[in-house]
Amino acid sequence: MSEPALELLRPDHAPALLAFERENRAYFSASIPDRGDDYFTGFDARHAELLAEQGAGLHFFHVLVDSDGAVLGRINLVDVANRSAVLGYRIAEKAARQGLATRAVHRTCALASDRYGLSTLRAATTLDNEGSRTVLARTGFVPTGETLLSGRPGTRYVRHLDRDPAALDI
């Protein structure tokens, strides 16, 4: 199987993205707060809003797409300001635990620096989300403190993009 393409979110991704979110809703809800029913009923309008915000340079939304056009993951850079952004990602249950998130975050860090001119990325995850903590550690993010995510204890992370990811012991 070939490596999924990392693509900037487009209008035509909407059907596959909605299918991805529906198929993985219960899986995601086990480790991160559920999006709620309104997310799904208002999906088309929200997708259009996100694309407009992306067009304004406020966020960069990416999808991992397999050769059949199915979405296997999302990797987003949100709240872009002052050469910084917040990284967020989710990988489909059927594609989890295969290193896909680590490879996608590496690729997104390169895009953040090379294409979007960012120098710092921030992220956060709950303490019980071992997979996400592992991905962040493997991709050069370092813990910066504690936080609460929807009332759940978590850790904040930062990655300065001027550091060479090839120097990391992965």
Using one digit for the tens of pLDDT, what is the confidence trace for 48-80? 999 999 999 999 999 999 999 999 999 999 999
Average pLDDT, the chain: 90
How many CB atoms within 10 Å of residue 73? Answer: 23
Residue-wise pLDDT for 152-161, tens only, equals 899 999 999 9
Flag whether pLDDT at 30 surpasses 80: no
pLDDT at 165 over 60: no
Classify burial at 37, counting beta carbons within 10 Å of its beta carbon; exposed 0-12, middle 13-18, buried 19 or more: exposed
Q: Which residue range is the domain that position 154 belongs to?
A: 5-167
Query: Domains in the chain: how many in total?
Result: 1
Confidence of residue 32 (pLDDT cuts 50, 70, 90): confident
Cα dihedral 14→104→117→45 (10° resolution): 20
Rounded CA separation 24/11 (Å)? 21
* pTM of the complete model beyond 0.85: yes
Report the candidate in 12, 93, 7 with the shortest Cα–Cα distance to residue 48: 12
25 Cβ contact partners less than 8 Å away, ≥ 6 residues apart: 34, 35
Task: Look at 154 and 163; give whichever has higher pLDDT.
Answer: 154
In our burial notation (b when 16+ CB lie closer than 10 A, e otherwise), range 123-143 reads bbbbeebeebbebbebbbbee
Q: What is the CATH number of the domain that holds 31?
A: 3.40.630.30
The pLDDT tens digits for 113-135 are 999 999 999 999 989 889 899 99
Quickly list DSSP for 58-115.
Answer: S-EEEEEE-TTS-EEEEEEEEEEETTEEEEEEEE-GGGTTSSHHHHHHHHHHHHHHHT
